[in-house]
Amino acid sequence: DAGVIQSPRHEVTEMGQEVTLRCKPISGHDYLFWYRQTMMRGLELLIYFNNNVPIDDSGMPEDRFSAKMPNASFSTLKIQPSEPRDSAVYFCASSPILDGGSYEQYFGPGTRLTVT
């Protein structure tokens, strides 16, 4: 399996522009997670989906952020308009449901976003 795939790997954009991050989870995984990581705040869960349905979006910082999962193999995280404080590494992760209820998450390589 190719693992979780994210694109782009690096994104540099100007303040006010729209940014779309993409994620392809591991086939067969039921859960998909979006995280943000910064030096100051560490690893933050933004939103997660179960079977394409958003379960908890309480970590989404504000209305400028939105996430969709139109099918089991694709998800997007959109920031509109972007601001310099959105600069971070954004990780997508997916997990299966294993016997015994284990939810081990597999992380993608991340997208490093820089907003100038």
Partner 1 sequence: ELKVEQNPLFLSMQEGKNYTIYCNYSTTSDRLYWYRQDPGKSLESLFVLLSNGAVKQEGRLMASLDTKARLSTLHITAAVHDLSATYFCAVDVGGSQGNLIFGKGTKLSVKP
Contact positions with partner 1 (CB under 8 A) in 42-61: 42-43, 45, 48, 50, 55-56
Chain centre distance of CA 84: 18
- Residue 103 sits in the site that holds partner 1 (CB under 8 A): yes
Q: Characterize the bridge pairing of strands 31-38 and 19-24.
A: unpaired
What would the two tokens of residue 55 be? 């379960």
Sheet with 74-79, side-by-side order of all strands: 5-7, 19-24, 74-79, 65-71
**Whole-number minimum distance, CB 15 to partner 1, in Å?**
24
Question: Which stretch in 11-19, 68-76, 78-86, 106-114 sits in contact with partner 1 by CB under 8 A?
Answer: 106-114
3-state helix, strand, coil in the chain (%, to 5): 5, 55, 45
Q: Does 109 bind partner 1 (CB under 8 A)?
A: yes
For residues 104 and 60, give the distance between their C-alpha atoms in angstroms, rounded to a whole number.
Answer: 22
Check residue 72 for interaction with partner 1 (CB under 8 A).
no
Least distance to partner 1, CB of residue 80, Å? 25
Candidates 19-27, 67-75, 76-84, 93-101; binding stretch for partner 1 (CB under 8 A):
93-101
Q: Please, what is the minimum distance in Å from the beta carbon of residue 45 to partner 1?
A: 7
The answer to whether the CB of 83 falls within 8 A of the CB of 73 is: no
**Binds partner 1 by CB under 8 A, chosen from 5, 13, 31, 66:** 31
